[in-house]
Amino acid sequence: MINRTPLLFLNVIIIATCGLIYELLAATVSSYVLGDSITQFSLVIGIYLSAMGVGSWLSGFLDKDLAKRFVEIEIAVAIFGGFSAPLLFLTFASVSYFSIILYAVVFVIGALVGLEIPLLIRILKDELDFKKLIARVLALDYVGALLASLMFPIFLVPKLGLTRTSLVFGLLNAGVGLWGTWLLEDLIKKRDVNILRIKGAVVVVLLLIGFIKADALTSLAEDSLFVDNIIYTKTSPYQRIVVTKGKTGYALFLNGNLQFNSFDEYRYHEALVHPAMLAAGGSPKRILVLGGGDGLAVREILKYPSVETVTLVDLDPEMTALAQKFPPLAQLTNNSLADPRVSVTNADAFVWLDSSDAQPFDAAIVDFPDPNNFALGKLYTTRFYNLLKQKLAPGAAVVIQCTSPLIARNSYWSIIKTLEASGFNVKPYQTTVPSFGIWGYALAKLEPFEIPKQVPKNIDLKFLNDETIASMFEFSSDTTFPTDHEIEINRLDNQALVRYYEAEWRRFE
Amino acid sequence: MTFTRRDILKSFLGLPLALAACRSNVSEISFDGEIVGANANLGHILREQRVFEVPENNWENIGVAIIGGGAAGLTAAWKFRKQGFDDFLLLELENRIGGTSASGSSNGFSYPWGAHYLPIPFKENAELISLLREMDLTEGFDESGEIVIKEQFRIREPEERIFYKGRWYDGLYLHTGETPEDVRQLAEFQKQLDLWVDWRDAKGRRAFVLPVANCSDDPAVTALDKISFGDWLREKGLTSERLLWYCDYACRDDYGLKLETTSAWAGLFYFCSRVPKSGVESQSFMTFPEGNGKFINYLAGTASDKIRKGQIAVEIIPTETGVDVICFNSETKEIRGIHARKAIFAAPVFTANYLIRDFKQNPPAHIREFEHNAWFVANLFLKDRPKSQFSRDFPLAWDNVLYESPSLGYVVSTHQTGIDYGGSVFTYYYPMTEKDGRAKLLSLDWKELSDICLTDLSRAHPNIRELTTRIDIMRWGHAMISPRTNFLWSGVREKAREPFRNIHFAHSDLSGIALFEEAFFHGLRAANEIFQRL
């Protein structure tokens, strides 16, 4: 028989690496989805280490069939560790007791990993003297940990993503278990060997299926599309929702288009909401929000004590649910969608405006994704703005997000012209949102009106002040109305805007 | 003789698709549906030459009896009402009105069963514009005095897309992969059209305009009726495959005929009659979820108390003082008689030989010249819309055409509503362009026709069977008048529209072109003829 000791030491490295990877995965996932990474890392490490202690202590109760037990534990770690990241991603958005599941998973993996090393030491104790054994096993254990901590941020997360990393290390664990059935064959009862091998093979197959199915969660192509890590994906009947987490914060993408980044979204949303609230007289009561299912515009609206009702109409129930159930987003919105003043309706705003019998509103915040398809293009037409007009109280103000006047200059001014053609007085304005670039809006009223000059007092603002609000209504020469060619009005029967937008943004693809 | 599934699919869709469909063996149908309307049996009662005796006390007197509740008959009824004339009745043999402009609705969806759009009329078509204004479809006039249709009724972009070799492209003419010669020929074709668009005769009349009655009868134009559209294209040196396809599609779409059987006059009429002047786009369309059912329902609403459905006029007997109409109630089997002073015969022209007593005994030769082709129309109820196969595919449009298919593709009933997600109803059109089309169509049942429709659409939408929850099918035995060569300007139309004793004729057949504008024109004309003589 060959000397199996060196091979068993290789197992120690693999086991140690896997163990630390699972710990890092759990800590990363929890800090992504629950926010507050210091707390999450600290808690996960604490629970994991103490669970390892529990595992080591439990190893004292195992007396017989140590080799068989060892293989069984490997297979169990492979299952729990391998499926840990996909399980956490799948459950966090759908259950309210997510943190219980998270810590339970961490504890189970920790305990199983804690069983591994003591058992291995006891298996090896007959082949090496105790002094050398302890020295080598522990040394290799720590080397494995170093390996994991280097690979995790440098290679695994950027290249494989969290889900695939988890599954790959599950496969490694299962591999160690299966390998053990040969290495330790003489220590395992004959009939048990085959049963263990079948169990191991089943787990390998399950993990492989998981690896293939991981594409349903996030495809490798999609992973590489986003700079930051994908922490949430959902394909609703209307769009693909992706949330990423990176150094700067959380970012929401709809169909691959950035909707906000948490580090500078306040600039976008303050600029969107407050000018309209001011133009509506400063103390509007009934507010309509079309689009804006992320709840961030509503957060700004609720800063006004005058607001009595906010009606939010967003197409996608998955989006409005995410804003309420996804802890980082709920936190970012101050739980705005759960506010009793807010009512959420999931409908196509075009159809809703045509059929709703809602009373007129004092202000309307129109925050749709950019008009990059015909279904969205209809939300920027004269027909749409004419429908919207019928839902406005006297003196009401409307604001519309209008894409970038720098990148999509024709698109921007086409929206402005369309609003004017629908009978609105329009004040175009723009601001800088670092993650978007120069961004354009339209402030509009049916009555003639003056540009708001002063930000509201007693409203907590991070971005807007009297100077910025005035400067937003100035346009630099590269963003002004193009005078060298006609700009078409966007109507249902020409969808001119979608064609402008396509042509202008395609240059950047 | 029985036909296999493969025989049927081959005959309707061609052999390659039939073979592919039979290999994949997906003929099981898990959804519901039925053949609706256009009851061929009812129509055939007329041909049996049965004798219908009206009971003595079952006669009534009326001023005018309108026979036929399609667009022409309903227009006449609308005109009567508008003029304050109430002494009329309209008899429709089906249980639904509208003829080939009929529509249906269920589960919150409305959808057409036939005609489904109307080009915005020129200002000269004042009567039609007055209808549109009355229906509140308009929002004033533009600077040149043309009517402006409200935005929500103008066809919403994207209007059309075409499926070719696995991909969807923008528009109806297939631009992708065209050669410089294709481009040149398309430009040459456009030049030829422009010549006719700007052409005026000595009296200042256009060559092609709606209604047909206002078209020039100058021999330079009418000579075009003697050759087929295919011959005309070849005469001009136009042989580009995609251009010929485009013209052939136009013929199938508007006339249910192929390029080689359509008169060149009719082919050019299609391309020129809606273009105000050369260099300007063709008039935009207006459309509705229920298609031209919108007009039908409105017209019928103005005279609903005068409309009797399920009433088959089985015999029309001109008398010294008026017209006697014998009706058979398809449900109660009751036979009634109507003594009318005048009648408007607003049914397809060919039926006159089965209904008007004098014609039965002595059929006028010109009536036999009015030939119709058969169609089938399927309404597919979908639980969701088919997804794009490729991200660069042009998205779902109003009209979705398959280049490689003999069908006309489908229109999307929800397009105009702005409901862009979830369930929808697709209306699929298949014209029977061959001579024996009608017999072939009537020999097939619901299941076989559903299979044809789904197999055809599965070219572009592989999962169409899973998305479909119901298919209803209308078999139109006599869908459209056929403007084949040597028909339109042979003089038969003029003969057929001459009143016969106290019977006046009104139907789009009399224009030789199955369009709402033509039916509307003849409905008004017949109503006005009667006003002059009452």
Contacts of B30 (CB under 8 A, 6+ apart): B465
pLDDT on residue B193: 97
Q: How far apart are CA A310 and CA A297, in angstroms?
A: 11
CB within 8 Å: B395 and A351: no
Contact: B420, A381; criterion CB under 8 Å:
no
Backbone phi and psi for residue B505, each to the nearest 5 degrees, phi listed first: -110, 140
DSSP-derived 3-state class of residue A217: helix
> What is the spatial distance between Cα A424 and Cα A446, in angstroms, rounded to a whole number?
5
Asked if B349 and B422 sit in the same domain, the reply is: no
Instruction: Please tell me the CATH code under which domain A5-218 is placed.
Output: 1.20.1250
Q: Which two tokens stand for residue A184?
A: 């330790």
Q: Are residues B78 and B207 in the same domain?
A: no
What pLDDT digit, counting tens, does each position of A359-386 carry? Answer: 999 999 999 999 988 989 999 999 999 9
In a domain, B460, yes or no: yes
What was the pLDDT predicted at B40? 60
Q: Which pLDDT does position B173 carry in this prediction?
A: 96
Looking from the CA of B174 toward its CB, the CA atoms found within 13 Å total 23
Q: CA A217 to CA A508: how far, in whole Å?
A: 27
Q: What is the CATH number of the domain that holds B19?
A: 3.90.660.10
CB atoms inside a 10 Å sphere around CB A201 = 13
Longest dimension (CA), chain A: 94
The pLDDT of residue B371: 93
What is the number of other CB atoms lying within 10 angstroms of the CB of residue B256?
A: 27
Q: Are residues B295 and B257 in the same domain?
A: no
- Statement: residue B74 has pLDDT above 70: yes
For the segment B209-227, the average pLDDT, to the nearest whole number, is 96
**Digit-coded pLDDT (tens) for B247-282:** 999 999 999 999 999 999 999 999 999 999 998 888
Q: Look at A92 and A197; give whichever has higher pLDDT.
A: A197
Question: Is B25 within a domain?
Answer: yes
Q: Where are chain A's structural domains?
A: 5-218, 223-257, 262-506
Mutate to test the interface with B, among A290, A374, A491 (most CBs of B within 10 A): A374
**Average pLDDT for residues A291-296, to the nearest whole number?**
95
pLDDT of residue B27: 54
Query: Is the pLDDT at B46 greater than 80, yes or no?
Result: no
Are B342 and B336 within 8 A, CB to CB?
A: no
**Are B429 and B402 spatial neighbours (Cβ–Cβ below 8 Å)?**
no
For an interface test with B, give the residue of A290, A493, A495, A497 to mutate (most B CBs within 10 A). Answer: A493
The span from the CA of A482 to the CA of B24, in Å, is 56
Residues B490 and B363 reside in one and the same domain: yes
Of B158, B384, B420, the CB nearest to A495: B158
Do residue B495 and residue B356 come from a single domain? yes
| Inter-chain touch A492–B384, beta carbons under 8 Å | no
What pLDDT score was predicted for residue A213? 79
Q: Which residues of B touch A494 (CB under 8 A)?
A: 157
CA B214 to chain A, closest CA, distance in angstroms equals: 29
Q: Say if residue B318 is in the same domain as residue B460.
A: no
B interface with A, Cβ–Cβ < 8 A, is 151-152, 154-158, 284, 384, 395, 417-422
Mean pLDDT confidence for A303-313: 97
Considering the domain boundaries, does residue B426 fall inside one? yes
Mean pLDDT over residues B432-450, rounded? Answer: 90
User: CA A316, A320, A322 angle in degrees (round to 5)?
Assistant: 110
Q: What is the mean pLDDT of residues A320-332?
A: 90
Rounded Cα distance between B434 and B441, Å, is 11
Residue B63 covered by a domain: yes
Q: How far apart are alpha carbons A329 and A322 in whole angstroms?
A: 8
Total domains present in chain B = 3
Looking at the partner chain, which of A348, A382, A495 has a beta carbon nearest the beta carbon of B419?
A: A348
Q: With cut-offs at 50, 70 and 90, classify the pLDDT of residue A133.
A: confident
pLDDT at B30: 74
Using a pLDDT cut of 90, give the percent of chain B over it: 81
**Under a CB-based contact definition with an 8 Å cutoff, are residues A380 and A497 in contact?**
yes
Alpha carbons B349 and B368: distance in angstroms, whole number: 9
Same domain, B250 and B181: yes
For residue B486, pLDDT over 90 is answered with yes
Residues B438 and B376 in one domain: yes
DSSP code, position A158 = I
The pLDDT value given to residue A226:
64
Question: Which chain B residues touch A381 with a CB distance below 8 Å?
Answer: 151
| pLDDT on residue A130 | 83
Is residue A339 annotated as a catalytic residue, yes or no?
Answer: no
Look at residue A1 and tell me whether its pLDDT is greater than 50.
no
Domain final residue, candidates B241, B266, B283: B283
Contacts with B, A 372-411, CB within 8 Å: 373-375, 377-378, 381-383, 386
> Which chain B residue lies closest to A382 (C-alpha atoms)?
B151
Longest dimension (CA), chain B: 76
ipTM score of the complex? 0.85
Confirm or reject contact between A500 and chain B (CB < 8 A): no
Whether residue A199 contacts residue A208, with contact meaning beta carbons closer than 8 Å, is answered with: no
CATH number, residue B295: 3.50.50.60
Cβ separation of A351 and B418 shorter than 8 Å? yes
Q: In what helix (H) or strand (E) does residue A104 lie, and over which residues does it extend? A: helix A98-124
CA atoms of B157 and B139, how far apart (whole Å):
20
- B505 and B462 in one domain? no
Q: Contact at 8 Å (CB) between B70 and B522?
A: no
Res B356 pLDDT > 70: yes
Q: Does domain A262-506 have CATH number 3.40.50.150?
A: yes
Name residue A23's amino acid: E
Look at A395 and A121; give whichever has higher pLDDT. Answer: A395
Cis peptide before B364 (omega within 30 of 0): no
- Is the pLDDT at B233 greater than 50, yes or no? yes
pLDDT band at A509 (very low <50, low <70, confident <90, very high): low
Measured distance CA(A482)–CA(A461) in Å, rounded: 33
pLDDT tens track for A88-109: 877 765 566 778 888 999 999 9
Chain mean pLDDT for chain B: 92
Contact A348 B155 (CB under 8 A): no
Instruction: Report residue A212: phi and psi, to 5°.
Output: -70, -45
**Residues B450 and B514 placed together within one structural domain of the fold:** no
How far B408 CA lies from chain A's nearest CA (Å)? 22
**In terms of residue numbers, what domain contains B270?**
172-283
**Do B276 and B295 lie in a common domain?**
no
Of these residues, A65, A367, A466, A478, which one is catalytic?
Answer: A367
Question: Which of A315, A351, A383 lies closest to B151 in CB terms?
Answer: A383
